[in-house]
Structure 1
Amino acid sequence: GKRAEAYQAYQELISDFAEAFEGMRRLAPDALTLAQDLIAATYYSDALEVLRDPALRDDPRYKAVRAQALFSLGRYDEAQEAYQNWLATSPEDTTARMGLARSLGRLGRLEEALEIYRDLDTAESRLAQAEILESRGEIEEALALYRDLPYPVAWWRAASILEREGRAQEALPFYARLGSAPIGLSDDAAYRLYVLARRLDDREMQSQAVSLLQDATSSFFPLLLGDGSFLAPVASAPARAGDAILAKVRALEILGLDELARRELRMAARFNYSAGIDLSMAQALAQRGRVQDAQQIAEQSLRELDPAPLAFWRLAYPKAYRREVEEAAQEFGLDPLLVWAVMRQESRYNPEAVSRSYAQGLMQLIPSTRDMIARQLGMRLRPFDVFNPRINVRLGAYYLRFVLDQFEGDVDYAVAAYNGGPGNVARWLEDPLVVTKEDFYRWMDLSETREFVQKVMFNYRVYQWLEVMQAS
């Protein structure tokens, strides 16, 4: 009877599970709401299919939703017409005018697009103007707009232009502003501020960059201020707790109620608010092969405890599928810690993980890469073999070795190639602005790959630290 709550749950799932679409279609309050929510989840073709129903055309939302779906699919001629139809009934609608201008811009009709943007004169339209001006080489005009906009993307673009124009000193204030903003790029910007300020011998800006980076405790970049190693303070282990819960769990398991026992462990960690219970429950889950559940509890504890006991670090960075990883690492001459670092970021140790780009399994291999590796190894794969941990880890380890060899054993470049492809890495390395690895981190132009490299390298440093802690 809770249709709205169920619909919302399917909405949250659809980004990762295409099967949720059927649930959304069944429970949607109306067809146009469904189409809007599908667009928000980037299911543009499905949204357009929903809009085929002629009965929807009298709904005031119809024209707007259809125009947005067409634009998102790259059908700009049709989108332009759809936005014009929308404007015929709502001539002052800012969203419709922006949509029309964007469609015209994609069709190469830049002057018409600029005329609309100038007439609108909003922050959003000024950003779009600046992007067109930059694309036409009208650098000073673009910079004048970027400087005063409230959007971090505008500051990033301005800094990029200034660096490419050889005006690094002028780029520093933009990086400082970005480094102070609560955005995903803040650590990238703070590190770039540090690199440029050091090269320019700007002590004040360099000091500001160091301060910003010291606040970015979960970022890879602060490690580069030192020797690149990870180091964290460690608390004493909490007192043992949760024996009664563990006894109940064992009783459930004797009765064959394993799933209920697992749920008991997870709920105890979630609702008891005790480091001792969290640790006992996470360890019990890990002992039962529930690595993902244990890892999630431990990761939450690391966010809440400062310092945290070493046991939480080990559970948050587990040596999952140890036999499979160590065998594959030995076969292909890899550091197994690097394999785990990649696995953690790619799948969070979930052997059944499937991404929106259909990357699959523990090491998240897309079908074309998977098939290429299988041919190289002389393997004949059945449809679901990619979800077998031993097979998936072996395929992923082979590819990791392949990209390491392509980039002369450089781990950063290999990790970037694992995600973004060797061709892109080669292109970035040929950029005249990429003189050192410090520059490489900045000029990767795929944001997903840039973040992937930072996360994997951070994981790798933590795994290395845990090895040192174990040895000592």
Structure 2
Amino acid sequence: MKRKKFRSRLLLLVVICFIVFLFGKSDWITKQLYPVKYNGVIVESSEKYDVDPHLIAAVIRVESNFQTGRESPKGAVGLMQLMPTTSDWIIERANLEHIPAEKLLHDPTMNIELGTWYLNHLLSQFDGEKVKAIAAYNAGPGNVSKWIEQGTWSGEFATADDIPFGETRRYVQKVFYYYNKYKEVYPKL
């Protein structure tokens, strides 16, 4: 009987300690759930191209979960999942020296820089409206412009359910979920 009572008290103590640990270290746990890698590169590209670093981190999280070497079934490569044709277009428009696809696949610095340049371009194209730019990052700016012109989608997050492409609809929702989380967890990213 004493042994059973001892085990019950020990279990209760362990549970209480665990709960105290969770609440005491909730910031630590949150950062484990929402990690950001390549902070320096993200911040550097953010400052260079005037794009919110939280938005860059959110795109990377949704595109590759911060894992280099990713290639999509459609051929998009790297952390920010850039299509080779888009990368070539960015390199030409930004007057950058040619970057081989293999380097984009494995080099986080190059991939983040090109992806951030492209985000800046899309934000400029859509007058700084982040939701439209993020939809265009996934579906292409032509599709987003067409949806807005035809009245299919308003371009606002509140009406994201009206986005005709299911993949883009989910993409926008995920990116803004992580965008808001990263702003909360890493206010000074």
Q: Please confirm whether the aligned pair reaches a TM-score higher than 0.5, indicating the same fold.
A: yes
Match of 1:349 among 56, 66, 73: 66
Distance 2:144 2:55 in 1: 19
Q: Which structure 2 segments of 5+ residues have no match? A: 1-18
Asked if 1 retains the 8 angstrom alpha-carbon contact of 2:22 and 2:29, the reply is no
Match of 2:163 among 427, 437, 444: 444
Match of 1:380 among 75, 94, 98: 98
Counterpart of 1:403 in structure 2 is 122
**Counterpart residue identity of residue 179, structure 2:** Y
**Counterpart residue identity of residue 99, structure 2:** L
Asked if 1 retains the 8 angstrom alpha-carbon contact of 2:58 and 2:178, the reply is yes
**Counterpart residue identity of residue 311, structure 1:** W
Q: Which structure 1 segments of 5+ residues have no match? A: 1-234, 240-307
Asked if 1 retains the 8 angstrom alpha-carbon contact of 2:132 and 2:156, the reply is no
Asked if 1 retains the 8 angstrom alpha-carbon contact of 2:69 and 2:79, the reply is yes
Distance 1:317 1:325 in 2: 15
- 1:319 and 2:39 equivalent? no
Shift of 1:238: 4.2
**Counterpart residue identity of residue 457, structure 1:** F
Shift of 1:433: 5.1
Residue-by-residue CA offset, 1:221-245 (whole Å, 9 max, x unaligned): xxxxxxxxxxxxxx75349xxxxxx
Distance 1:421 1:436 in 2: 14
Asked if 2 retains the 8 angstrom alpha-carbon contact of 1:420 and 1:449, the reply is yes
Counterpart of 2:141 in structure 1 is 422
C-alpha change, 1:466 and 1:383, in structure 2 (3 Å) is closer
Counterpart of 2:174 in structure 1 is 455
C-alpha change, 1:458 and 1:326, in structure 2 (3 Å) is same
Distance 2:150 2:158 in 1: 10
User: So what's the TM-score if we normalise by structure 2?
Assistant: 0.81
User: So what's the TM-score if we normalise by structure 1?
Assistant: 0.34
Distance 1:439 1:448 in 2: 17
Asked if 2 retains the 8 angstrom alpha-carbon contact of 1:328 and 1:393, the reply is yes
3-state secondary structure, aligned to 1:350: coil
Distance 2:101 2:145 in 1: 33
Q: What RMSD in Å do the two structures reach over aligned CA positions?
A: 2.3
Asked if 1 retains the 8 angstrom alpha-carbon contact of 2:135 and 2:172, the reply is yes
C-alpha change, 1:393 and 1:236, in structure 2 (3 Å) is farther
C-alpha change, 1:440 and 1:390, in structure 2 (3 Å) is same
3-state secondary structure, aligned to 1:320: coil
Shift of 1:383: 4.0
Asked if 2 retains the 8 angstrom alpha-carbon contact of 1:236 and 1:309, the reply is no
Aligned ranges 1:460-471 → 2 under 5 Å: 460-468=179-187
C-alpha change, 1:433 and 1:384, in structure 2 (3 Å) is closer
Distance 1:427 1:383 in 2: 30
Distance 1:436 1:367 in 2: 27
Question: Which consecutive aligned stretches of 4+ in structure 1 deviate over 2 angstroms post-superposition?
Answer: 235-239, 431-440
- 1:358 and 2:43 equivalent? no
C-alpha change, 1:402 and 1:381, in structure 2 (3 Å) is same
C-alpha change, 1:407 and 1:318, in structure 2 (3 Å) is same
Computing the radius of gyration from Cα coordinates, the structure with the larger value is 1
Counterpart of 1:70 in structure 2 is none
Asked if 2 retains the 8 angstrom alpha-carbon contact of 1:237 and 1:311, the reply is no
Residue-by-residue CA offset, 1:168-194 (whole Å, 9 max, x unaligned): xxxxxxxxxxxxxxxxxxxxxxxxxxx
Residue-by-residue CA offset, 1:90-142 (whole Å, 9 max, x unaligned): xxxxxxxxxxxxxxxxxxxxxxxxxxxxxxxxxxxxxxxxxxxxxxxxxxxxx
Aligned ranges 1:234-253 → 2 under 5 Å: 236-238=20-22
Distance 1:439 1:313 in 2: 26
C-alpha change, 1:357 and 1:436, in structure 2 (3 Å) is closer
**Counterpart residue identity of residue 409, structure 1:** G
Asked if 2 retains the 8 angstrom alpha-carbon contact of 1:428 and 1:440, the reply is no
Asked if 1 retains the 8 angstrom alpha-carbon contact of 2:79 and 2:111, the reply is yes
Identity of aligned residues (%): 32
C-alpha change, 1:416 and 1:435, in structure 2 (3 Å) is closer
Shift of 1:331: 0.6
Distance 1:397 1:388 in 2: 14
Residue-by-residue CA offset, 1:32-63 (whole Å, 9 max, x unaligned): xxxxxxxxxxxxxxxxxxxxxxxxxxxxxxxx
**Counterpart residue identity of residue 382, structure 1:** P
C-alpha change, 1:432 and 1:439, in structure 2 (3 Å) is farther
Shift of 1:397: 0.3
Residue-by-residue CA offset, 1:278-317 (whole Å, 9 max, x unaligned): xxxxxxxxxxxxxxxxxxxxxxxxxxxxxx9221221222
**Counterpart residue identity of residue 420, structure 1:** A
Distance 1:438 1:414 in 2: 11
Shift of 1:428: 1.1
Distance 2:177 2:60 in 1: 13
